[in-house]
């Protein structure tokens, strides 16, 4: 499944209206914020239809997956939006992540846990809140909305050190830039190591660069590091996305794709958007001087004009003139 989908769920007391853009959407927050009510309404409508007194308006079928027979049920669900309430421990399992990876469905998961087996985006982690009124206002309809929990951060001072999630092309590019700016640059050799590498660093101001498209599970413990040091996170979709956005690759359709990635990313093929952008960049540059490899940076990206375009994009996205153009 691909595309973005607006969903309206309502009865005579409450209405939820939101749009989902990717294969995995996470709902976080304390109890009594409306997450369970939302999923209960989807479940009631899927079982009783209009007799439930609930409307679910969406171009795709909306269903609820529950513990017990979840695996068998999921095997029989396709091209649908699957809601899962908190308390269903199977969402933390490797078996569930493998089924999501190969699924044609989108998933909306309410959970207070970080699901480290699922590569969900920092941009698709939401809280739920009422826009007006309260849950006990008689028959007055309450309007609820999703709001992003993780917002873009802006640098306020020059970093003493930059820690890059990977050790491949992205790190190689940032390492080259840092050497010119006399900034320490270190690879974490994978997002699973980021917390430890940042925690053990001695520098005062640290900038972490990671793929936002799959960094959602890491955000809670990553943000906890701020209690001990000045850490800012630069989380573009991916390094490959930065290259595509910079305009270095001259392909007419890239602008359209980057404006609405949901319309082009098939969930059954791409577990996360980072994988799509990598595949797209490799495809669009094959057999050219810009031929891209994730493992080793093509020196063409360090040539003056290309480097300048990419640095300008990094500075724009990070909100600071981090590197000299």
| CATH classification of the domain holding 118 | 3.40.50
Q: In whole angstroms, what is the distance from residue 115 CA to residue 142 CA?
A: 30
pLDDT confidence band for 325 (50 / 70 / 90): low
Percent of the chain with pLDDT strictly greater than 90: 69
Say if 167 falls within a structural domain.
yes
User: Do 258 and 192 reside in the same domain of the chain?
Assistant: yes
The whole-model pTM stands at 0.91
Q: What secondary structure letter does DSSP report for 68?
A: S
pLDDT confidence band for 139 (50 / 70 / 90): low
Q: Are 226 and 201 in contact (CB under 8 A)?
A: no
Boundary of a domain, candidates 98, 116, 148: 148
Could you tell me the residue range of the domain that residue 225 belongs to?
A: 161-318
User: Do 114 and 212 reside in the same domain of the chain?
Assistant: no
The pLDDT tens digits of the residues spanning 194-229 come to 999 999 998 988 999 999 999 999 988 888 887 777
Q: Are 60 and 40 in contact (CB under 8 A)?
A: no
pLDDT confidence band for 238 (50 / 70 / 90): very high
pLDDT at residue number 136: 47
Token readout for 39 is 């999923």
User: Do 119 and 190 reside in the same domain of the chain?
Assistant: no
Q: Are 97 and 118 in contact (CB under 8 A)?
A: yes
The pLDDT tens digits of the residues spanning 69-90 come to 999 999 999 999 999 999 899 9
- Average pLDDT in the 19-26 region? 96
User: Do 228 and 271 reside in the same domain of the chain?
Assistant: yes
Q: Give the residues across from 84 on adjacent strands.
A: 109
If we measure between CA atoms, which residue out of 147, 152, 150, 107 comes closest to residue 127? 147
Would the CA dihedral through 175, 306, 311, 272 be positive or negative? negative
Query: 67 phi and psi, to 5 degrees?
Result: -65, 170
Say if 155 falls within a structural domain.
no
- Average pLDDT in the 122-127 region? 93
pLDDT, averaged across the chain: 90
Boundary of a domain, candidates 148, 172, 202: 148
Q: Are 39 and 69 in contact (CB under 8 A)?
A: no
* Number of separate domains in the chain: 2
Say if 324 falls within a structural domain.
no
pLDDT confidence band for 135 (50 / 70 / 90): very low
Q: Is pLDDT of 271 > 80?
A: yes
Q: Which residues contact 194 (CB under 8 A, 6 or more apart)?
A: 163, 165, 188, 208, 210, 218, 222
Q: Are 142 and 136 in contact (CB under 8 A)?
A: no
């Amino acid at each position: 499944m691909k595309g973005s989908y607006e969903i309206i769920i309502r009865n005579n007391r409450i209405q939820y209206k939101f749009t989902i853009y990717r294969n995995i959407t996470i709902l976080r927050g304390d109890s009594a914020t409306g997450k369970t009510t939302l999923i209960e309404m989807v479940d009631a409508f899927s079982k009783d239809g209009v007799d439930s007194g609930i409307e679910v308006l969406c171009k795709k079928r909306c269903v609820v997956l529950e513990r017990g027979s979840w695996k068998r049920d999921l095997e029989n669900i396709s091209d649908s939006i699957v809601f899962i309430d908190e308390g269903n421990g199977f969402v933390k399992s490797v078996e569930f992540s493998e089924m999501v990876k190969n699924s044609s469905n989108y998933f909306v998961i309410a959970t207070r846990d970080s699901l480290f087996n699922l590569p969900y985006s920092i941009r698709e982690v939401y809280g739920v809140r009422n826009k007006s009124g309260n849950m006990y206002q008689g028959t007055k309809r309450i309007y609820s909305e999703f709001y992003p929990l993780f917002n873009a951060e802006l640098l306020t001072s020059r970093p003493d050190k930059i820690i890059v999630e990977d050790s491949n092309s992205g790190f190689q590019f940032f390492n080259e830039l840092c050497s010119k700016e006399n900034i320490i640059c270190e690879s974490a050799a994978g997002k699973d190591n980021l917390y430890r590498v940042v925690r053990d660093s001695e520098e005062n101001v640290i900038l972490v660069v990671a793929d936002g498209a799959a960094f959602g599970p890491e955000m809670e413990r990553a943000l906890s590091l701020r209690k001990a040091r000045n850490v800012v996170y630069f989380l573009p979709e991916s390094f490959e996305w930065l290259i595509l956005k910079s305009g270095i690759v001259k392909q007419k359709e890239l602008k359209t794709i980057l404006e609405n990635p949901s319309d082009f990313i098939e969930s059954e093929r791409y577990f996360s958007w980072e994988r799509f952008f990598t595949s797209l960049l490799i495809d669009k540059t094959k057999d050219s001087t810009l031929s891209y490899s994730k493992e080793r940076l093509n020196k063409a990206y360090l040539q003056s004009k290309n480097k300048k375009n990419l640095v300008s994009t990094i500075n724009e996205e990070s909100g600071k003139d981090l590197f000299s153009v």
